[in-house]
Structure 1
């Protein structure tokens, strides 16, 4: 059975990567829609064989469409997902999947009623070869049990990609921790084998962009579960002199060793990204992980056909998203008297 999918909501460039990876895994892209003509035109240029739909209702009512894929503006994703599930379709969106806990609760309720999937594509784990390899090594026991994780997700605000106005509107993008740090929270739960965690402390700030009063360019979180602890830092402060959009790092401390992943670059070192460093009782090891297969989309399509959970569990998606929303809600904002 070939999974037929439609791309609905094309505001973020992540839609291109998700659609491409789904097609490579064997799914068929049959339609696309966005209310912004510019977004729609860009998508059609990238996928010229796709049908451009003028009617979003027709896509949802088309019983031949199995899956809705979306990178709509952050605050629109939950509503699209609810609509998809109520039309007996599964839903895949880029992170974050929600901007409020009320959205989270509604989506979870509709999921329970319909049995359809609402999956958030955490691309920093699912789509990064070095991170996938780190997961495989840990499952093999390479560093024992992971007891601490530190994750860093810096970004460049200005550069090759023009940032849309909604990115600077708090209600629309959902805050820096809910947005960027959802990647690191997903990884904390996954790598430490934690079902849930608590937000010990969280901080947000706008250090460099006072012209955008609702924007946050820095955020950090302390996490604790019954198995491990973690520290996460995200920002929009990558300097112009960096060779890539952000020097993304992951540190995993195990009971028998540790792993460092340099996802996007190796400063003054090896060219390119996907660098993994492993230290255990036997010595030090470097692995260039760029050729590591990425199984997520293949497994995800199998899950849709078989109604299994091999790519990612729905409960994990909900919990990672809930913790990101809680971190954002509980964060203390620097230079303000109240929490965000």
Structure 2
């Protein structure tokens, strides 16, 4: 009885403390236990970020196997690009795309796009293993190329990309949208470069994904295609969705050299697709910082979106956390940035900011620059994820 009474008193004491905390006024909760302020702010764009695009180009889409193509097109259109032609070997995808862009010319073959001298840029989200060969052909035809991630699935493809860039001077870009098309990630880059958290020591990326999405450009609830389950075609989990995360590791740490320390993959819950990988992680070491990445296909329906992507950037004088797509059990709004330094803890709502990639990339095509994406860094990220995939240890978790 003594033990039960003690447990009950402890339980009531805990609940009483929780109740008292829940009744504290907002003004009190806005200060930490030591009275330190918590700043809530809305990040606003600078005047120049609201200016109309300076340039315009003609661009085309060749292949649209992944629905990332809609975001890719949107970015280039925001930058002043004009979509003039589309092509796909997948009738259902082409029909859906044409419904969104009914006035755009449909062509039957990739060669029609590559041979059209009025087209300056080619976009593609065709099956991942087929993107690099198309990009090489596009560059040899005198065009720049923007690939969905991953931009290559083998080291041989990557070597051919580098060789062709050197021979042609064309741009081979990879749209890692989790940095380039997320407003909070853009703001984090600005803060890091301004020295807001000192020298960056490490990035940690948590990147869960959902296999059957209930919303999106495809309309939601669409089953994954056969190639989605085949690592020879999608590249494997580390190469595929890991492209986003390794791009961030290099960008935020500023590393120009890096290696994969260790990596592992697993198929935990999809025995009907024995070669599929639904879990993976990797440890990275760069010349200017370290990184850890965790990837999975286990986002539960209760989250309300396709994934709870989070990024942690550790600096010598503070840290930043991004909750990119939702703020769990608080708000369904994404683009949440949290910054803690020696003075205060800050929350930034980044939804009012603009996305610079589109205008910058169109300007790069016109001016032959690499402002939107560093070409060397882009290809280093591609190399690292391929190496992580090649050397990954396949683990088997017991039931």
For this structure pair, what is the TM-score category when the shorter chain's length is used for normalisation? Answer: over 0.9
Higher relative contact order (CA 8 A, sep 6+): 2
Task: Give the deviation of 1:164 after TM superposition.
Answer: 0.8
Give the 5 Å matches for 1:325-336: 325-335=386-396
Aligned length: 336
2:143 is the counterpart of 1:85: no
Q: How does 1:109-148 map to 2 (within 5 A)?
A: 109-148=163-202
- Change in 2 beyond 3 A, CA 1:199/1:45: same
For 1:103 and 1:243, how far apart are their aligned partners in 2?
Answer: 37
Q: Which residue of 2 aligns with 1:42?
A: 96
- Whether the aligned pair in 1 keeps the contact of 2:264 and 2:282 (CA below 8 Å) is yes
* SS of the residue 2:303 aligns to: coil
- Deviation beyond 6 Å, 4+ runs, structure 1: none
Q: Does the alignment pair 1:281 with 2:342?
A: yes
Q: Secondary structure at the match of 2:190?
A: helix
Return the alpha-carbon distance in structure 2 between the equivalents of residues 312 and 57 of structure 1. Answer: 27
Match of 2:245 among 184, 204, 216: 184
Deviation, 1:309, is 1.1
Change (3 A) 1:5 1:279: same
1:227 corresponds in structure 2 to 288
Contact 2:77 2:358 in 1 (8 A): no
Q: What TM-score, normalized by structure 2, do the two folds share? A: 0.83
1:283-302 Cα offsets, whole Å, 9 max, x none, are 10101111121101101111
Distance 1:158 1:62 in 2: 37
Out of 250, 259, 268, the position equivalent to 2:329 is 268
Partner of 1:25: 79
1:172 aligns with 2:233: yes
Residue 55 of structure 1, CA deviation: 2.9
The 8 Å contact of residues 132 and 151 in structure 2, kept in 1 or not, is answered as: yes
1:52-100 Cα offsets, whole Å, 9 max, x none, are 1123211110101100000000011001101101100000011000111
CA distance in structure 2 between the aligned counterparts of 1:162 and 1:278, rounded to whole angstroms: 38
Which has the greater radius of gyration? 2
Match of 2:372 in 1: 311
CA RMSD across the alignment? 1.1
* CA distance in 1: counterparts of 2:278 and 2:266, whole angstroms: 6
Cα distance in 1, alignment partners of residues 293 and 271 from structure 2: 24
Q: Are 1:242 and 2:296 an aligned pair?
A: no
Q: Distance in 2 between matches of 1:219 and 1:55?
A: 37
Q: Which runs of 5+ in 2 are unaligned?
A: 1-54, 214-220
Q: Deviations over 1:257-289 (max 9, x none)?
A: 000000011111133111010000111010111
User: Does structure 1 retain, via aligned residues, the 8 Å contact 2:63–2:87?
Assistant: yes
Structure 1 position 180, deviation (Å): 0.7
1:103 corresponds to 2:157: yes
Is the Cα contact below 8 Å between 2:75 and 2:357 reproduced in 1?
A: no
Q: Deviation string for 1:15-52 (max 9, x for gaps)?
A: 11111221121101000000111111111111111101
**CA distance in structure 2 between the aligned counterparts of 1:320 and 1:197, rounded to whole angstroms:** 9
Which of residues 61, 84, 109 is equivalent to 2:115? 61
SS across alignment from 2:352: coil
**TM-score when scaled to structure 1?**
0.97
Hey, what's the Cα distance between the residues in 1 that align with 2:183 and 2:110? Answer: 35
